[in-house]
Amino acid sequence: MHRFHRVLRGLVGLLAITASHAAIAQDSGTLHKADAERVHGSEPVYSPYANRNFPTRPFFGDTHMHTSFSMDAGAFGARLTPRNAYQFARGEQVMASSGQPVKLSRPLDFLVVADHSDNMGFFPDLFAGSPNLLADPTGKKWYDMIQSGKGADAAIEIIVAFSHGTFPKDLMYFPGTPGYKGAWKKTIDAAEEFNDPGRFTAFIGYEWTSNTDGNNLHRNVIFRDNGDMAIRVEPYTVYPPYGSDNPVDLWKWMAAYEDKIGGDVLAIPHNGNLSNGLMFPLVEAFQQELDEGYVQARAKWEPLYEVAQTKGDGEAHPSLSPNDEFANFETWDKGNLDGSVAKTPEMLPHEYARSALKLGLKLEDELGTNPYKFGLIGSSDAHTGLAALAEDNFFGKTTPQEPSPERMTATFVDNQSTGVKIMDWEVSAAGYAAVWATENTRESIFDAMERKETYATTGTRLIVRFFGGWDFTSEDALTRAPAVIGYSKGVPMGGDLRSAPDGKSPSFLVMALRDPIGANLDRIQIVKGWMDANGELQEKIYDVVWGDAETRTPGRDGKLPPVGSTVDVENAIWTNTIGDPELIGVWTDPDFDPNQRAFYYTRVLEIPTPRWTAYDAAFYDIEPLPGTVMTLQERAYTSPIWYTP
């Protein structure tokens, strides 16, 4: 009876509590009615990271890697294959073609093996003694030369024949031949083997290498697709009758692939600085006047431009931007690709990205489409299979330029007929493509490239955010999550701003965070280009936010003093005792005219650090040649944000 009464009293008490909506004590504490209503209601989301659908990190990679499958790379001694290139990029240690072990400080997130389409796969087959090559007398002669220790002489003969159009047709790996088909299949198989969605992306691609008269009009073609689609075509080549040196014909090949196969491809030009004025035409291209068809096709198929790589920086030129104290960076301006024609001043406006972005505004005004509305990336163009682009781990552009005491004094181009000479020390340790994608997959990274949410680096892995809009305020720079504000109030790098609201000027939120194992930051700049009321093209550079701001202020001329340098060149070391590890700020255009087309992009500069030449000089204990550059300021360039009235 006592137990029954205790249970009854408990039930009565519970009913009384429930009826009065009083608190109920449980293992999780006391539940009050107000708490229950709040947790079961629709309160605002507390976590700033929940329900995000925008990119939260940049992925770093290289869209321009050559292996032994490339004709010139093989001739110069490269022995690494596409498989080796992917192994290295994802963080594995490999043996370089020069016999040295090499490894990255950190794995890359993605890689495109982009071997030259013409004669793809010839050299590996020659070294292997492929029967189809040995059956030809010239092929047998070259093979015997290699076997007898005269590989260098054979390589020179092969390169000369290939460059001058005297290469035996029976030895040429044209599309449709077994050797060519085999090389393309091996390229695809390697990408399929190493593609690991979510961890590492191995893109399928190739380089189309238009080089008529030594003028560089090269493009890297990248597939969004998997191997089952890419294998249904063969790369487009330059040599007739299977190809053409005209980019318009490449775009037609790309259109045919998408129409017939249902795939998705894009092309990335590079090294306009070696095109001798042909990369960014304003009036005509290939003896044909620019028309609506040309500008529309180029805008569609070439959303990006490779602005930083081993053969010189392509952002700006000091003679085109005399007021830009940082324009003379890793500049190659002596001639075209082979040095057969020396550079002249009138060529320069059609060779550099900043100038091209301005020319695009003029063409848009005239033809209705901006063909140079491209985003920016960096990549290597290394012909070693090694995306080793850090200054202290630079394995050169070609195998002879892999680390050795000789590369500091050797020549890269020496055309005695024109006097054009480029030294090996002038080759740059650059660059990387940074892509703001939602995940590390072919589809996500490719889509980010198409929408131009990308930036270029010269080999560093610093993080850069850049947003433009009409309502950013200085308080927005106080956030620790700038992307939340950036995407909600504006557009990211690669985006567009349309007609300005009455009385408003565009404002920009910029942020940079140093490479975790790299150098502090000097400054963030915004580069503006526009077409004025008279149709003239203009540019101006604004320092937005900078390091050591407590002690470093602009002078009366508006110029920001140099950040200084901590580099000990002799020992190839520096300290992060100057500059800042991160910078963030909001800038509003003080010179805005709502009736004028314009673009804006961000340039981020690190503090000075040792160049690869300083590391070589210290490691090998050698004296550099007079004039050798020993320090540099690594940098990043974002894709622009365009304003169109």
pLDDT digits (tens, 9 = 90+) for 426-453: 999 999 999 999 999 999 999 999 999 9
Task: Write out the two tokens for 506.
Answer: 């565009």
pLDDT at 10: 43
Does position 633 have pLDDT exceeding 70, yes or no? Answer: yes
Model pLDDT, residue 128: 92
Assess whether pLDDT exceeds 80 at residue 313. Answer: yes
pTM for the model stands at 0.92
Residue with tokens 């990387």: 432
22 pLDDT above the threshold of 80: no
Q: Is the pLDDT at 20 greater than 70, yes or no?
A: no
Q: What are the φ and ψ backbone dihedral angles of 98, each rounded to 5 degrees?
A: -85, 5
As a whole number of Å, the CA-based R_g of the chain is: 28
> How big is the chain, counted in residues?
645
pLDDT in tens, 253-281: 999 999 999 999 999 999 999 999 999 99
1: confidence class by pLDDT, cuts 50, 70, 90: very low
Three-state SS at 6: helix
pLDDT at 23: 53
Distances 472 to 52, 170, 251, 469, 636 between C-alpha atoms, Å:
20, 64, 39, 7, 23
Per-residue pLDDT, 28: 63
Largest Cα–Cα separation, the chain: 118
DSSP 571-623: TTB--SSSSBSEEEEEEE-TT--TTS-EEEEEEEEEPPEE-HHHHHHHHHT-P
Question: How far is residue 122 from each of residues 69, 186, 223, measured CA to CA in Å?
Answer: 7, 13, 23
**Please, what is the end-to-end C-alpha distance for the chain in angstroms?**
89
User: What angle is formed at CA 564 by the lines to CA 563 and CA 568, rounded to 5 degrees?
Assistant: 140
At 594-618, the pLDDT tens digits run: 999 999 999 999 999 999 999 999 9
The pLDDT score that the predictor gives to residue 15 is 40
* pLDDT attached to residue 194: 98
pLDDT (0 to 100) of residue 307: 98
User: What's the distance, CA 96 to chain centroid?
Assistant: 23
Residue 536 has pLDDT above 60, yes or no: yes
pLDDT reported for residue 24? 54
Instruction: Report CA torsion sign: 61, 206, 231, 76.
Output: negative
- Residue 17 predicted with pLDDT over 50: no
Q: Is the peptide bond before 241 cis (omega within 30 degrees of 0)?
A: yes
pLDDT on residue 5: 45
Cα dist from 279 to 56, 169, 392, 456, 512, whole Å: 34, 30, 32, 19, 31
DSSP code per residue over 52-66: --S--EEEEEEEEE-
- Give me the mean pLDDT over the 398-426 stretch: 95
**CA distance to 173, 471, 480, 506, 523, per residue, from 475 (Å):** 61, 11, 11, 16, 20
Q: What is the DSSP string of 459-472?
A: S---EEEEEEES--
Instruction: Give percent of the chain with pLDDT exceeding 90.
Output: 85
For residue 214, whether the previous peptide bond is cis, meaning omega lies within 30 degrees of 0, is no
| Tokens 């503090």 belong to residue | 607
Q: What average pLDDT does this structure show over 343-355?
A: 98
Q: Where are the beta strands (DSSP E) in 295-444?
A: 304-308, 375-378, 411-415, 420-423, 432-437
| Alpha-carbon torsion (452, 327, 314, 107), positive or negative | negative
The predicted-structure confidence for 209-219, as pLDDT tens digits, reads as follows: 999 999 999 99
Tokens of 415: 């055309």
DSSP 342: B
Residues linked to residue 606 through DSSP beta bridges, in sequence order? 521
State whether residue 127 is helix, strand or coil: helix
pLDDT at res. 8: 41
Grade residue 305 by pLDDT with cuts at 50, 70 and 90: very high
Query: How many C-alpha atoms does 321 have within 13 Å on its Cβ side?
Result: 23
* pLDDT-based confidence at residue 19 (cuts at 50, 70, 90): very low
Encode pLDDT of 70-83 as tens digits.
999 998 999 999 99
What percentage of the chain exceeds 70 in pLDDT? 94
Q: What is the mean pLDDT of the chain?
A: 93
Q: What is the pLDDT of residues 185-207, one digit of tens each?
A: 999 999 999 999 999 999 999 99
Q: In this predicted structure, what is the pLDDT of residue 11? A: 43
Three-class HEC string of 187-208:
HHHHHHHHCECCCEEEEEEEEE
Query: What Cα–Cα distance (Å) separates residue 592 from each residue in 462, 529, 531, 597?
Result: 30, 11, 12, 10
* pLDDT score of 565 more than 90: yes
- In this predicted structure, the answer to whether residue 27 has a pLDDT above a threshold of 90 is no
CA separation for the pair 118, 498 (Å, rounded) = 43
Taking the CA of residue 278 as centre, how many other CA atoms within 13 Å lie in the half-sphere pointing to its CB?
23
User: Two tokens at 246?
Assistant: 């005209």
- Kindly compute the dihedral angle of the four CA atoms of residues 357, 115, 91, 617, in this order, to the nearest 10 degrees: -80
Judge whether 510 and 587 are in contact, CB under 8 Å: yes
pLDDT at 117: 97
CB 254 within 8 A of CB 301: yes
CA angle (371 as vertex; 367, 374 as ends), nearest 5:
150
* 618 neighbors 601 (Cβ within 8 angstroms): no
Work out the number of other CB atoms within 10 angstroms of the CB of residue 630: 19
Q: Which whole-number Å values give the CA distances from 420 to 272, 341, 350, 415, in the listed order?
A: 17, 8, 20, 5
Rounded Cα distance between 583 and 545, Å, is 7
